[in-house]
Amino acid sequence: MRIASAERRTLLVQAALRVIAAHGVSAATTRAIVAEAGMSLASFHYAFRSHDEMMRELIGYVVDAESTAAFAVLQPGADIRTSLRDGLRAFLDYVIADPGHEQVMQELVQYSLRTPGLESMARDQYASYHRAVAELLTGGAAASGVRWAVPVDDVARLVVTVTDGLTLAWLADRDAAAAVRVIDFAADAIAALAVPLTQPIRSVP
Amino acid sequence: MRIASAERRTLLVQAALRVIAAHGVSAATTRAIVAEAGMSLASFHYAFRSHDEMMRELIGYVVDAESTAAFAVLQPGADIRTSLRDGLRAFLDYVIADPGHEQVMQELVQYSLRTPGLESMARDQYASYHRAVAELLTGGAAASGVRWAVPVDDVARLVVTVTDGLTLAWLADRDAAAAVRVIDFAADAIAALAVPLTQPIRSVP
DNA sequence: CCCATTCTGGGTCAACTGTCCCAGACGTGT
DNA sequence: ACACGTCTGGGACAGTTGACCCAGAATGGG
């Protein structure tokens, strides 16, 4: 093999993610990971200097993956309230369909916060969320012919606050109906922050 | 000693909580806990059959503690929007003052969700939160001369959703100003669910 | 004061962890 | 075909973990 060096790192990271999704961060031991990847212990330490180094790369990997996963389809013409509601419901459906994935994200944030030297990665993870949602909100507003009356970054933080709270509560009590009620309320409330875009915005009125 | 049996269990649980707050769930090993409690290994296994049994009791302990910790002071006469905003801000101040505590709560939820046989404790934890917040909301509404236009349990879930999302984001990026903006928005939006209580409610109008 | 019960100190055990090592298999360029 | 660098298998290591065991200290009732 020739190009395997970086690729095998990715294979090990993905195997580690499968182990974490199935049994949690604490079960992601070096041996469990290589077993999942079908490799031997020596291969692991040939690709990574240490288990910690692999975890660092893993967190960077999920942050990148998350920031490019725009799991919302913007429908031009729909009003912003409907777009928000549909987007949040799609997110909930996704969590319900694959609870392991969001649980991994939550666990990795905790892991980052707890591991010396990795605290900044938790910040990066949230910055990545906020940026992705802000882009979605900007696109959604344009598609609905509105603009945000407050900075879009603030609106993005609201949305992420809701999705996080929503996810945690659903993971704990699996009450999807209650989650939908939260979504409908949040969509209404957040949509109220959008104002009609009658005129192109100009700097000096 | 005579009554030490139950008391020593509590002492060990509290020592375990201190260890978890300082270094996370994974650091809460039997030896670290007895060191924190100033006991010997034998004492631990005299009080608890196993480390797992202690963790189960620990989670029950924090759920009980949380449900009786009404960390909000209701001010009669204040309007409900102000009460909500002040209550949420007080919660944020508390998180900022003692980040370890809420981080422990988050970690314990993840631990419950991951540990076979403890999944129901995560549900209990959230049921406990929702019940406590619902009581607070009922009291707050009464103190402000309003009533909730939707079931108070739904309002409670909204509040818990916000506090969870708020806490996670702040733990990650420590942006208190952004958290306050979220709070102010949430207080406005949720207060809109309250309607004036002009008449005593009667079953048949 | 003595004795039975309750507790503890220290040692021990097997299991598991991350890490390392080395002989040898593999593929590649010549 | 050959030699060389790249990789892997299996084994080993020290450290840590949860659990246990037993002799003996502490304690309180008689």
Low-confidence ranges of chain B (pLDDT < 70): 1-4, 69-73, 199-205
Mutate to test the interface with A, among B88, B106, B157 (most CBs of A within 10 A): B157
At residue A68, the pLDDT reads: 74
Per the structure block, which two tokens stand in for A150?
């407050």
In contact, A7 and A46? CB cutoff 8 Å: no
Q: Which nucleotides of C are covered by protein (CB under 7 A)?
A: 6-12, 16-22, 27-28
Cβ within 8 Å, pair A165-B164? yes
Give the number of other CB atoms < 10 A from CB of residue A116: 5
Q: Which CATH class is domain A70-196?
A: mainly alpha
CATH hierarchy code of domain B4-48: 1.10.10
Confidence of residue A1 (pLDDT cuts 50, 70, 90): very low
**Complex ipTM value:** 0.90
Residue-wise pLDDT for A37-72, tens only, equals: 999 999 999 999 999 999 999 999 999 888 776 666
User: In angstroms, how far is D12 C1' from A19 CA?
Assistant: 26
Q: What's the CA gap between A113 and B20, in Å, rounded?
A: 13
Residue A158's nearest CA partner among A180, A136, A181 is A136
DSSP symbols for chain B: --THHHHHHHHHHHHHHHHHHHH-GGG--HHHHHHHHT--HHHHHHH-S-HHHHHHHHHHHHHHHHHT-------TTS-HHHHHHHHHHHHHHHHHH-HHHHHHHHHHHHHHHHSTT-HHHHHHHHHHHHHHHHHHHHHHHHHHTEEESS-HHHHHHHHHHHHHHHHHHHHHH--HHHHHHHHHHHHHHHHTTEEE--S---S--
Q: Which string of DSSP letters, residue by residue, matches A5-52?
A: HHHHHHHHHHHHHHHHHHH-GGG--HHHHHHHHT--HHHHHHH-S-HH
**pLDDT exceeds cutoff 70 at A200:** no
Residue span(s) of chain A under CATH 1.10.10 come to 4-48
Residues of A in contact with B106 (CB under 8 A): 106, 110, 168
Looking at chain A, the whole-number percentage of residues with pLDDT higher than 90 is 83
- pLDDT reported for residue B78: 84
CA-closest candidate to residue A202, choices A131, A151, A147 = A147
pLDDT tens per residue across span A69-110: 666 667 777 899 999 999 999 999 999 999 999 999 999 999
Q: What angle is formed at CA B105 by the lines to CA B101 and CA B106, rounded to 5 degrees?
A: 115
Compute the distance between CA of residue B61 and CA of residue B143 in angstroms, rounded to an integer: 31
pLDDT of A6 reads 81
Determine contact: B127 vs chain A, CB below 8 A: yes
**Between the CA of A1 and the C1' of D4, what is the distance in angstroms?**
15
Residues 92-111 of B with CB under 8 A from A: 103, 106-107, 109-110
Say how many C-beta atoms besides its own lie within 10 A of residue A198's C-beta.
8
Q: Which amino acid is at B201?
A: I
Provide the percentage of residues in chain A whose pLDDT is more than 70: 92
> Does B113 sit within 8 Å of A168, measured CB to CB?
no
- Of A126, A12, A125, nearest to A59 by C-alpha is A125
CA to C1' distance (Å), from B42 to C9: 8
| Nearest chain B residue to A164, by CA | B165
Helices (H), A25-151: 30-37, 41-47, 51-67, 80-97, 99-114, 119-144
CA distances from A177 to A100, A102, A110, A119 (A): 20, 19, 28, 35
**Alpha carbon of B119: minimum distance to chain A alpha carbons (Å):** 8
The reported pLDDT for the residue numbered B4 is 67
State the Cα–Cα distance between residues A149 and A195, nearest whole angstrom.
6
Q: What is the pLDDT of residue B68?
A: 75
- Cβ-based neighbour number of residue B174 at 10 Å: 14
Query: In which residue ranges of chain B is CATH 1.10.357.10 found?
Result: 70-196
